[in-house]
Amino acid sequence: MGPRAGGGPGPPGAGCAGAVRGRVSVHVVEPGPLTTVQDAGRPGWAHLGVPRAGFLDAGAATLANRLVGNPEGAALLETTAGGLRFVLGAARTLAVTGARCPVTAAGRSLPFAEAVTLAAGTEVVIGTPTHGLRTYVALAGAIDVAPVLGSRSTDTLAGVGPPVVRAGQVLPLGVPGRVPAAGVVVRPPAEAVLRLHPGPQADWLTRPDDLDGAVVRVGAASNRVGLRLEGVRVGRRPGELPSEGMVLGAVQAPEGGELVVFLNDHPPTGGYPVVAVVARADLAWCAQARPGDEVVLELL
């Protein structure tokens, strides 16, 4: 277990962080640009039009949960581009993983990707990432909001699950589990190569080899629904398809010629040809890619 950090007085009103109807909780002071509650998601509901949601960088999220003794799929906080600030209502073990960023507790710097026990009343600040985009904050006992269709994940497209975290919100915590005695090795960052399996409509491409070795950059309009890849315009035959089911990592090719990678909050169906599917191991890169980042495409 990591070092213990002292508590701070916190902002006015922070005293209400200690309970939600008598339960231990955290008080959100600032949510940053986008903070959501995420767990392993709700797969299996696509036939009813419900996306899977869930944490985008599964490796980083499950690592954070393991560090604090939670089940790997437990609910935690996923914050985009940092800016999250909250106050603990009780002493809890915390771990921060994913996009590397400065983390402070009561003004003191905390180690990254390590379990740290903090006192009640401690204010925690998640800074702007120096690398990557999405940071994961796990607390022992996990975020214990009410599940919807078996998951506590926020779905930003369909609006299923808990709402996006807002300033002043009080989030309940569950009962802590057992913190592992041994540390966990942080996996190295993925290389900037996006491996693609052929998609079911790969034959719609007029020049399939244009994808292999192409250098593309992440578009500014990317979000939890999809990653827009700019810089290469693939040739494809005109037209659309009847709507059909989409899988996580599906690469659609709209008629404009640029590509869209479907991420966790993607709609269950789509009408553009799926010309490729991202290798599952490379979805973590998609989760951490910033607008302007470049990646090389590789056909498998």
- CA angle at residue 158 from 134 to 55, to 5 degrees? 25
Asked if the structure places residue 287 within a domain, the reply is yes
Do 255 and 145 have their domain in common? no
Band of residue 257 on the pLDDT scale cut at 50, 70, 90: confident
Do 236 and 281 have their domain in common? yes
Q: Which of 41, 31, 13 is nearest to 155 (CA)?
A: 41
Do 208 and 148 have their domain in common? no
Q: What local confidence, expressed as pLDDT, does residue 300 receive?
A: 93
Do 129 and 17 have their domain in common? yes
Where is the domain boundary, 172, 206, 231? 172
Average pLDDT on 284-293 reads 96
Check whether 185 has a pLDDT greater than 60: no
Average pLDDT on 39-61 reads 94
Asked if the structure places residue 31 within a domain, the reply is yes
Do 116 and 12 have their domain in common? yes
Asked if the structure places residue 187 within a domain, the reply is no
> Would you mind telling me the total number of residues written for the chain in this entry?
300
Do 156 and 210 have their domain in common? no
Asked if the structure places residue 206 within a domain, the reply is yes
Classify residue 117 as exposed, middle or buried by CB count within 10 Å of its CB (0-12, 13-18, 19+): middle
Average pLDDT on 180-188 reads 56
Do 156 and 252 have their domain in common? no
Do 278 and 143 have their domain in common? no
Asked if the structure places residue 277 within a domain, the reply is yes
Q: What percent of the chain has pLDDT over 70?
A: 88
Check whether 265 has a pLDDT greater than 60: yes
Asked if the structure places residue 183 within a domain, the reply is no
Do 48 and 95 have their domain in common? yes
Q: Which of 161, 272, 189, 188 is nearest to 226 (CA)?
A: 272
Q: Which of 290, 128, 278, 133 is nearest to 219 (CA)?
A: 290
Do 227 and 158 have their domain in common? no
Band of residue 83 on the pLDDT scale cut at 50, 70, 90: very high
Check whether 47 has a pLDDT greater than 70: yes
- The total number of structural domains in the chain stands at 2
Q: What is the pTM of this model?
A: 0.89
Dist. CA 165–CA 170, nearest whole Å: 9
Q: What local confidence, expressed as pLDDT, does residue 175 receive?
A: 94
Do 261 and 112 have their domain in common? no
Q: State phi, psi for 203 to the nearest 5 degrees.
A: -75, -5
Do 82 and 160 have their domain in common? yes
Contact (Cβ atoms closer than 8 angstroms) between residue 215 and residue 296 = yes
* pLDDT tens-digit readout, 122-145: 999 999 999 999 999 999 999 999
Average pLDDT on 226-237 reads 91
Q: What local confidence, expressed as pLDDT, does residue 1 receive?
A: 40
- Structural domain boundaries, residue 130: 4-172
Dist. CA 21–CA 26, nearest whole Å: 13
Dist. CA 205–CA 271, nearest whole Å: 15
CA 257 vs CA 204, 217, 272: distances in Å: 12, 14, 11
Dist. CA 129–CA 274, nearest whole Å: 32
Asked if the structure places residue 252 within a domain, the reply is yes
Asked if the structure places residue 181 within a domain, the reply is no
Band of residue 186 on the pLDDT scale cut at 50, 70, 90: low
Dist. CA 96–CA 80, nearest whole Å: 13
3-state secondary structure of 136: strand
Q: What local confidence, expressed as pLDDT, does residue 235 receive?
A: 87
Q: State phi, psi for 82 to the nearest 5 degrees.
A: 70, -160
